[in-house]
Amino acid sequence: MSEDNAREIVLSLEVDDPALADRLATLLGSVAGLRLAAPGETATASVVARDPRIMPDDIALTQRELDVLALMAEGASNKMIARQLNISVHTVKFHVGSLLDKLDATGRTDAVAHAARRGVIEL
C-alpha cells in the first residue's frame, strides 16, 4: 500500500446548502493530503448532507408542476408533455417556467437534476 493507496484523497462536496458547502469547502480545502474535486472529476469520497431537510417546505410545487416535472425527467419535449397532459404547449411552458423559477434552475436539464438531488423526483 502506501503507494497508490496513499495518494491524495479527492473529496467532492455534494451539499445543497450553500452556507454549509462554503464552510466545508473552507475547512477541507486547507487539509494536507486532501483535495476537493473539480467539477466532473471522479472523487474518492463524497460529502453529502445528512438530513433530507434540504427543502424548506418542499419548495411547494403544485400537483401540475409535479406532473410536468415527471415527464421532463423522462426526456419528454414540451409538445409531448402537452399531449400527455391534454393541455396546450403554452401551458406546459408556463409550468416549466415556474419550475425553473422555484428550483432555481437555468434550464429543464438543470431543473431535473436539481429535483433529483433534493429527492423531489426519483430517476
Q: Is 29 in the site for DNA (CB under 7 A)?
A: no
Q: Is 18 in the site for a second copy (CB under 8 A)?
A: no
> What whole-number distance in Å separates Cα of residue 73 and Cα of residue 25?
30
Cell of 107: 434550464
Q: Rounded to the nearest whole angstrom, what is the least distance from the CB of residue 39 to DNA in the complex? A: 16
Site mask for a second copy (CB under 8 A), range 39-78, x = bound: xx-xxxxxxxxxxx-------------xx-xxxxxxx-x-
Which listed option, DNA, a second copy, none, makes contact with residue 25 (CB within 5 to 8 Å by class)? none
Which listed option, DNA, a second copy, none, makes contact with residue 113 (CB within 5 to 8 Å by class)? a second copy
Question: For residues 83-117, b (16+ Cβ closer than 10 Å) or e, as one string?
Answer: eebebeeebbeebbeebbebbebeebeebbebbee
